[in-house]
Amino acid sequence: MINNKKVYKVVDYLTPAEVCKAIGISEKSTPLITRWINNGKIRGHKRFGRNKAIPVNWVKSECQSRGIDWQGVELEDNEIGVSLDGYIDLKAYASNSNKTYDQLYKDIVNGKIKNYIRFGNAFGLPKE
């Protein structure tokens, strides 16, 4: 481990950009992934903040159909795998608590909150 900072990484869902990379298409093809979601091709997706979250099971199936050997989300030494279902996006968390989004964001940036996740461009905190 390079440093002792733990990073919580989502292992059960991927962003559209991560899906593109996993299935072997250009990362600029995220509109295609969105179209697949809108057309019902990707089942079990959800939203996290403004991001679309695609289940790893769907990605594995798509990789298999394309002949790609993808084992799932890989973790670095300082990363801890977590489920997206255990987290709530920062805006929703702020509206459910008596803190503002800005306060929570500053606490994350300043290292006061350690158990956050980053999924796409959204931060999340554990559900209470």
Angle at 65 between CA 62 and CA 66, to 5 degrees: 90
Q: Within 10 A of 82 (CB to CB), how many other CB atoms are there?
A: 17
71-123 pLDDT per residue, tens: 999 999 999 999 999 999 999 999 988 899 999 999 999 999 999 999 999 99
What are the residues whose beta carbons fall under 8 Å from the beta carbon of 105, sequence distance 6 or more? 90, 123
Among the listed residues 2, 44, 3, 19, the one whose alpha carbon sits nearest the alpha carbon of residue 120:
19
pLDDT of residue 5: 78
28-67 pLDDT per residue, tens: 999 999 999 999 999 999 999 999 999 999 999 999 999 9
How many domains are contained in the chain?
1
Among the listed residues 7, 23, 9, the one whose alpha carbon sits nearest the alpha carbon of residue 119:
9
Q: Is residue 1 part of a domain?
A: no
Residue 33: which domain range? Answer: 7-120
* The pLDDT of residue 69 is above 70: yes
Q: Would you say 119 and 86 are in contact if contact means Cβ atoms under 8 Å apart?
A: no
Angle at 71 between CA 70 and CA 72, to 5 degrees: 100
pLDDT of residue 6: 86
